[in-house]
């Protein structure tokens, strides 16, 4: 029976990729997008140097031969261009005296609103490129775009609120003061391939709106989708506020860091890269880092867990966007008493997931954008098998080019790479346990500390876990998968998983510093303050209430 299922799956997986004519017209790429322009200092510059060709994870069947679809190319610029962008960002910031950092909050908000309106007009192009560049499903690509727009509007509202509460004076111990938040300087922003638009913008937008200037390096996979937005950046902000960096990260980023002119590094990526980059800055004390890094989120399924809920949430947690979320559940500890029932239900549910191309209706499993990933996943599955684990679901681990069918691997133990490494793909390691100390010990020994999911129905048992777990990770999810949202919730992690906190309101704080104006509460000083306020002579020292 299982063999039959595996054979059926094998056949389907062998024919997963479409012929050109089978691609629905609305998702066809009219022509490859050969980006030759990049944005620096308010100008679209033309690049005539080497370029990186972008191949989609989607292969196309041409008379039985599969070739990855070429979707375009982008500049492989070098150090000189990166340093020119850095100069432009420094000039625009002008040590805090530039037009942008001294602009009023209301004026900056107006620019971001203007940008967002123009961004929305590019939705179709961006969504289509999301699908082609990283293989994200149409539904998730639309969700990523919409969530990003909502995030921008929520950021604007949060900033208005912050500004309103800073529009008053404080009087304490005979000192009169007004306390606001000021920008930090030049921000180097690098986003990840899995949420190339959303996660990039959850740092980029708060960074800009707080008055910083920006060097923006799009992720290696997920670069072209930013191209339709460059004109909106150019026309919505003063020159030099947003500057793009193209090229191999290892060529261009070290020079930027070594210059000592980057004030904030914001990166969603690996802790290894973040560590290296921070150390390149000549004055680390002048560098603020806001980082979202590696994670190996754990789910614990207690013996009394509601199996339907646990399986449903673990399925979402492990396989949404093929397991390529930093917040994905990447290892599941299941109590011995229910592990057989759990595995049987989980494998059944995995079998129901639809796989195919990103535009297929109801699809949830799609090709993977990282070229080395299928080999890596095959290796970790093989290694686990060599150490005694089995692939529990029919067809688990079958592959065709960039597509890998999910594998439930059991029982996983500490000899296997799957036990510790962040697989970032559709492989689900399951570990049996008897003593609750076992998964806790896993977290104690872990280099990661982002989130955990606990499945159970006994309130006392859950309560006993909450207290140790909140000090090991940053979010404990009860009977729910791990996730970042809602975006008003703090998103952070311990150990190698993060530095700083992101959420709509936390990000505004992360990309700014408190500054204040203070004076002795005397008649003469009160008079000076009143004149400044009445004549609107300062943007900082002001009581204007943003509506
Ligand atoms: O890759 C990490 C993303 O921030 C995950 O966001 O948990 O809302 O899907 P999400």
Q: CATH number for the domain including 482?
A: 3.40.309.10
Domain termination residue (choose one: 433, 468, 487): 487
- Tell me the CA–centroid distance for residue 326 and ligand 1, in Å: 6
Whether 483 lines ligand 1, by a CB cut-off of 6 Å, is yes
329 and 467 share a domain? yes
Whether 484 lines ligand 1, by a CB cut-off of 6 Å, is yes
Has residue 530 been placed in a domain?
A: no
The angle formed by the CA atoms of residues 355, 361 and 367, to the nearest 5 degrees, is 35
CA dihedral 348, 350, 353, 356 (to 10 degrees): -130
CB-based burial label for 84 (10 Å; 0-12, 13-18, 19+) = middle
- Tell me the CA–centroid distance for residue 323 and ligand 1, in Å: 10
322 and 266 share a domain? no
- Tell me the CA–centroid distance for residue 33 and ligand 1, in Å: 28
**Ligand 1: nearest atom to the Cα of 491:** 4
- Using CA atoms, how far residue 254 sits from 281, 365, 401, 506, in Å, is 9, 36, 34, 28
430 and 469 share a domain? yes
CA pair distance 369, 132, nearest whole angstrom:
9
- Tell me the CA–centroid distance for residue 113 and ligand 1, in Å: 25
**Ligand 1: nearest atom to the Cα of 198:** 4
Partners of 244 in the beta sheet? Answer: 216
Whether 485 lines ligand 1, by a CB cut-off of 6 Å, is yes
214 and 305 share a domain? no
- Residue from 318, 307, 338, 297 nearest 457 by CA: 307
99 and 122 share a domain? yes
Q: Which element (helix H / strand E) includes 440?
A: helix 437-445
pLDDT at 1: 63
- Tell me the CA–centroid distance for residue 325 and ligand 1, in Å: 6
CA 319 to chain centre: 16
What is the tens place of the pLDDT at every residue in 69-116? 999 999 999 999 999 999 999 999 999 999 999 999 999 999 999 999
- Tell me the CA–centroid distance for residue 525 and ligand 1, in Å: 50
Q: For residue 125, give its domain range.
A: 79-221+247-292
CA pair distance 326, 297, nearest whole angstrom:
8
Shortest-distance Cα residue to atom 7 of ligand 1: 483
Has residue 70 been placed in a domain?
A: no
- Tell me the CA–centroid distance for residue 148 and ligand 1, in Å: 12
Domain termination residue (choose one: 487, 521, 538): 487
Q: Which residues of the chain are under the pLDDT cut of 70?
A: 1
- Tell me the CA–centroid distance for residue 483 and ligand 1, in Å: 6
Phi, psi of 102 (to 5 degrees): -100, 0
Has residue 370 been placed in a domain?
A: yes
304 and 385 share a domain? yes
Q: In this structure, what token pair is assigned to residue 511?
A: 């990309």
Omega of the bond prior to 481 within 30 degrees of 0, cis? Answer: no
Whether 295 lines ligand 1, by a CB cut-off of 6 Å, is no
Shortest-distance Cα residue to atom 8 of ligand 1: 484
Whether 198 lines ligand 1, by a CB cut-off of 6 Å, is no
Give the chain's domain count: 2
Shortest-distance Cα residue to atom 4 of ligand 1: 484
Has residue 378 been placed in a domain?
A: yes
pLDDT at 30: 83
341 and 406 share a domain? yes
Whether 119 lines ligand 1, by a CB cut-off of 6 Å, is no
Q: Which of 292, 326, 481 to mutate to test the pocket of ligand 1 (most atoms within 8 A of CB)?
A: 326
Has residue 31 been placed in a domain?
A: no
- Tell me the CA–centroid distance for residue 153 and ligand 1, in Å: 19
263 and 330 share a domain? no
Supply the CATH number for residue 177's domain: 3.40.605.10
305 and 173 share a domain? no
Contact 185, 210 (CB under 8 A): no
- Using CA atoms, how far residue 51 sits from 29, 76, 248, 268, 495, in Å, is 20, 5, 11, 24, 37
Has residue 301 been placed in a domain?
A: yes
Has residue 493 been placed in a domain?
A: no
- Tell me the CA–centroid distance for residue 334 and ligand 1, in Å: 24
257 and 320 share a domain? no
444 and 303 share a domain? yes
**Ligand 1: nearest atom to the Cα of 328:** 7
Sign of CA dihedral 186, 290, 52, 36: negative
Whether 201 lines ligand 1, by a CB cut-off of 6 Å, is no
407 and 307 share a domain? yes
Has residue 26 been placed in a domain?
A: no
Residues 6 or more apart in contact with residue 189 via CB below 8 angstroms: 200, 203, 204, 207, 214, 215, 216, 217, 266, 267
CA pair distance 214, 92, nearest whole angstrom:
9
Domain termination residue (choose one: 487, 514, 542): 487
């Amino acid at each position: 029976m299982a063999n039959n299922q595996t054979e059926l799956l094998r056949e389907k997986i062998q024919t997963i990729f479409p012929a050109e004519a089978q691609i629905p017209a609305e998702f066809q790429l009219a022509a490859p997008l050969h980006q030759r322009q990049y944005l620096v200092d308010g100008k679209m510059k033309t690049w005539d140097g080497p370029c990186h060709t972008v191949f989609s994870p989607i292969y196309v069947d041409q008379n039985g031969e599969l070739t990855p679809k070429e979707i375009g190319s982008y500049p492989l610029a070098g150090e000189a261009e990166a340093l020119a962008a850095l100069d432009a960002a420094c000039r625009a910031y002008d040590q805090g005296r530039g037009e942008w950092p001294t602009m009023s909050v209301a004026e900056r908000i107006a620019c971001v609103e203007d940008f967002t309106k123009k961004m929305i007009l590019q939705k179709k192009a961006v969504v289509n490129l999301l699908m082609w560049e990283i293989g994200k499903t149409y539904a998730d690509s639309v969700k990523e775009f919409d969530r990003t727009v909502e995030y921008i509007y929520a950021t604007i509202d949060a900033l208005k609120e912050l500004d309103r509460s800073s529009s008053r004076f404080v009087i304490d111990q005979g000192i009169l003061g007004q306390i606001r938040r000021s920008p930090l300087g030049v921000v180097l922003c690098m986003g990840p391939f899995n949420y190339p638009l959303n996660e990039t913008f959850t740092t980029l937008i708060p960074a800009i709106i707080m008055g910083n200037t920006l060097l923006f390096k799009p992720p290696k996979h997920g670069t072209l989708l930013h191209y339709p937005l460059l004109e909106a950046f150019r026309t919505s902000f003063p020159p030099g506020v947003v500057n793009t960096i193209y090229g191999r990260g290892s060529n261009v980023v070290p020079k930027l860091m070594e210059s000592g002119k980057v004030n904030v590094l914001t990166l969603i990526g690996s802790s290894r890269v973040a560590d290296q980059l921070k150390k390149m800055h000549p004055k680390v004390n002048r560098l603020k880092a806001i980082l979202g890094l590696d994670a190996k989120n754990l789910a614990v399924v207690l013996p009394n867990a509601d199996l339907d809920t646990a399986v449903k949430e673990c399925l979402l947690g492990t396989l949404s966007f093929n397991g390529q979320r930093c917040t994905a559940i990447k290892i599941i500890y299941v109590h011995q008493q229910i592990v057989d029932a759990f595995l049987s239900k989980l494998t059944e549910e995995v079998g129901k997931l639809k796989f195919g191309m990103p535009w297929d209706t109801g699809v949830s499993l799609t090709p993977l954008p990282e070229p080395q990933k299928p080999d890596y996943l095959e290796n970790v599955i093989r290694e686990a098998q060599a150490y005694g684990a089995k692939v529990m679901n029919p067809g688990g681990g079958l592959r065709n080019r960039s597509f890998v069918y999910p594998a439930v691997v059991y029982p996983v133990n500490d000899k296997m790479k799957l036990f510790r490494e962040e697989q970032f793909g559709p492989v689900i390691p399951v570990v049996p346990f008897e003593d609750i100390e076992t998964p806790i010990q896993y977290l104690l020994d872990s280099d990661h500390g982002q989130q955990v999911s606990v499945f159970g129905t006994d309130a006392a048992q859950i309560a006993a876990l909450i207290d140790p777990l909140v000090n090991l990770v940053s979010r404990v999810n009860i009977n729910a998968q791990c996730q970042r949202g809602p975006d008003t919730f703090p998103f952070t992690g311990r150990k190698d998983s993060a530095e700083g906190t992101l959420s709509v309101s936390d990000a505004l704080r992360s990309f700014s510093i408190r500054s204040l104006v203070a004076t002795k509460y005397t008649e003469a000083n009160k008079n000076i303050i009143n004149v400044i306020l009445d004549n609107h002579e300062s943007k900082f020292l002001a009581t204007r209430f943003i509506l």
